[in-house]
Amino acid sequence: MLYQRSSALFAEAKNYIPGGVNSPVRAFNSVGGTPVFIKKAKGAYLWDEDGRKYVDYINSWGPAILGHAHEAVVEAVKKQAEKGFSFGTPTELETEIAKVIVEGVPGIDKIRMVSSGTEACMSAIRLARGFTGKDKIIKFRGCYHGHADSFLISAGSGAATFGMPISPGVTQGTAKDTLLADYNNIEQILSLFEKNHGEIAAVIVEPVAGNMGCVLPENNFLTHLKQICSTNGALLIFDEVMTGFRLAFGGAQEVYNVEADLVCYGKVIGGGLPVGAFAGRSEIMDHLAPIGDVYQAGTLSGNPIAMAAGLTTLEILRDNPTIYLELKNSTSQLAIGLGSILNQKNIPHTINRKGSMMSLFFQVSSVSNFKDASEANHSLFNHFFHHMLKEGIYLPPSGYETWFISKDITEEEISKTLEAMEKLEY
């Protein structure tokens, strides 16, 4: 039986862990079936507990941009681990990675490390509220900024899969300060600022959305957001947890030539270890404790082992910029190949992609916001997901997620993927 050991492990896990997983999207609730338990990963591949091998298009939801267990990153982690794990004191490594980021990314003077993308985004919101003295924020339907209360209102990713407009446990008091707009809809933003004049601290946006599937900004959406925020004394926050150091070394700010007031990071910045961060100009960041009065803290923030993994990953990306062109080319080759097979099979679809992020939506002609994404044929995606899984291709287990292509996905892996696609029947 396929996935026999994963099924047994899943049954046991559910006795001790809610839903058997430590993050809901891993439970396969959207696609159905039993989640695959992974034993190890190397390069472009995963091996499950039943010994089956897969080409990996999740890459830990983004961090493994250099492929799994990159030798130099493994070596850096091993060397650092021998010096101890975490000291709760400042270390030189934290300054080294901060310098690499500040010098490599437009528009930021200072950066604060935390341990997840959620922490980065929730801290950025608190800083924006403290800096502006205003309470309200605007987020976009289908965008996901982690599981902090302020964001679990019409969120993307797993929350979209579970169809929760507002998660139980989020108080009305919190929800009232989060205003919603549709991605790519500037008219709605203008009207929200008019109706909430002087009350909006920040607009937080995924500059390329990845949590309703991959959705791109259109018609200078990001430039308009920047202009509206500066006119209204609000901060523009780019949530680059997915796009940071993935679309380019300078992330979406570099690609779209728009400087946000605050930028949030995660995933790639830790090279697969728990790291998040938020960054911005000194005039804003210096409001943070201990020099400012906006409090934010973390026991393991900037811990040396995670810094060693992140710094090594970022240095490789900085010193080998052709990686970004390779990533873009392999993603385009994959997308064009998938598209032509689906056309031959007369399966209507649309593929959104930017750099090494892409998503496949079935039976819709374009996807520019969450409503469009929700109108795609998700049951067909689920059928497609399980077909590809059986063929040894591991895709994100939801039509509301983005595929992440790593440096180790080459011609060989792309042809394996296209061969699997050829066999799709529905």
**Residues that bind ligand KE4 in the complex, under the rule CB under 6 A:** 23, 25, 61, 116-118, 121, 144-146, 157-158, 206, 210-211, 239, 241-242, 266, 276, 401
Alpha-carbon dihedral 108, 113, 114, 119, rounded to 10 degrees: -10
Residue whose CB is less far from ligand KE4, 232 or 253: 253
Tokens linked to 409 = 């996905």
- 357 DSSP β-pair partners: 354, 404
Which residue lies nearest ligand KE4, judged by its C-beta? 117
144 noted as active-site residue? yes
Residues 177, 239, 261, 408: which is the catalytic one?
A: 239
Judged by CB, which is closer to ligand KE4: 41, or 342?
Answer: 41
Measured from the CB atom, is 239 or 408 closer to ligand KE4? 239
279/289 Cα distance (integer angstroms):
14
Residue 289 C-beta: closest distance to ligand KE4, Å: 21
Nearer to ligand KE4, 23 or 340 (CB): 23
Q: Which two tokens stand for residue 327?
A: 């990533």
Q: Which of 3, 45, 54, 144 does the annotation list as catalytic? A: 144
**How many helices and strands (H and E) does the chain possess?**
15, 14
Pick the closest to residue 286 from 115, 109, 97, 100 (CA basis). 109
Under 8 Å CB-to-CB from 114, ≥6 apart: which residues? 120, 123, 275, 276, 277, 278, 296, 298, 301
Q: Is residue 241 within 8 Å of residue 117, measured between CB atoms?
A: yes
Least separation in angstroms between residue 319's CB and ligand KE4 is 26
Q: Minimum distance between the CB of residue 180 and ligand KE4, rounded to whole angstroms?
A: 17
Tokens of 5: 């050991």
In the complex, least distance from residue 367 CB atom to ligand KE4, rounded to whole angstroms:
16
Q: Nearest approach, Cβ of 267 to ligand KE4 (angstroms)?
A: 7
User: Tokens standing for 144?
Assistant: 């996901």
Q: What is the pairing mode between strands 393-394 and 200-205? A: unpaired
Q: Please choose, from the candidates 405, 424, 406, 416, the residue with its C-alpha nearest in 3D space to the C-alpha of residue 349.
A: 424
Shortest CB 321 distance to ligand KE4, Å: 23
**Residue 267 designated active-site:** yes
Q: Would you state the structure tokens that stand for residue 422, as one six-digit string?
A: 């050829």
All residues at 6 or more sequence positions from 195 whose CB lies less than 8 Å from its CB, including other chains = none
Quote the Cα angle for 221-356-162, to 5°: 70
Residue 58: CB minimum distance to ligand KE4, A:
9
Of 194, 155, 216, which is closest to residue 367 (Cα–Cα)?
Answer: 216
Residue 342 CA to residue 344 CA, distance in Å, equals: 5
Residues in the chain: 426
In whole angstroms, give the CA distance from residue 275 to residue 124.
15
Nearer to ligand KE4, 242 or 248 (CB): 242
Active site residue: 134, 226, 267, 354, which one? 267
Residue closer to ligand KE4 by CB (options 130, 276) is: 276
Element (H, E) at 359: strand 357-362
Distance separating alpha carbons of residues 121 and 147, to the nearest angstrom:
10
Select 141 or 342, whichever has its Cβ closest to ligand KE4: 141
In the complex, minimum distance from the CB of residue 25 to ligand KE4, in angstroms, rounded to a whole number: 5
* Nearest residue (CB) to ligand KE4, 239 versus 259: 239
Catalytic machinery residues: 144, 239, 267
